[in-house]
């Protein structure tokens, strides 16, 4: 069940990240979910390093770091996806 939860959270974070990033992203929905999951893991890693991964109540700082991680990963992943797909279409 935790894998299903990770996929759902990753998809939601990926979609929010795509909404935050200006312009239109070219990555497909499945890759949005993968990048969202990776961003969530990156945010959890940063929260653990800062010591804010498990606090009393809602972990707002950890969730914000997960979103920031998702924005970074989606932006970089979209740039890489566009570069690879662009090269395949012209070559």
* Each residue's pLDDT tens digit, 23-57: 999 999 999 999 999 999 999 899 889 988 777 88
Q: pLDDT above 70 covers what percent of the chain?
A: 93
61: exposed, middle or buried (C-beta count within 10 Å: 0-12, 13-18, 19+)?
Answer: middle
62: exposed, middle or buried (C-beta count within 10 Å: 0-12, 13-18, 19+)?
Answer: buried
pTM equals 0.85
- Region 59-70: mean pLDDT is 91
Question: For residue 17, what pLDDT is reported?
Answer: 95
Give the Cα separation of 14 and 8 in Å (integer).
10
Q: Which ranges in the chain belong to alpha helices (H)?
A: 2-20, 29-50, 60-90
* Each residue's pLDDT tens digit, 13-24: 999 999 999 999
34 phi, psi to nearest 5 deg = -65, -45
Q: If you average pLDDT over every residue of the chain, what do you get?
A: 88
């Amino acid at each position: 069940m935790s894998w299903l939860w990770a996929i759902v959270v990753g998809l939601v974070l990926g979609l929010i990240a795509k909404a935050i990033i200006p312009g239109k992203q070219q990555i497909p929905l499945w890759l949005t979910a993968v990048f969202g999951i990776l961003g969530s893991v990156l945010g959890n890693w940063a929260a653990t390093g800062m010591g804010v991964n498990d606090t009393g109540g809602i972990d707002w700082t950890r969730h914000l770091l997960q979103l920031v991680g998702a924005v970074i990963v989606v932006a970089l992943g979209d740039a890489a996806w566009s570069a690879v797909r662009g090269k395949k279409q012209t070559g």
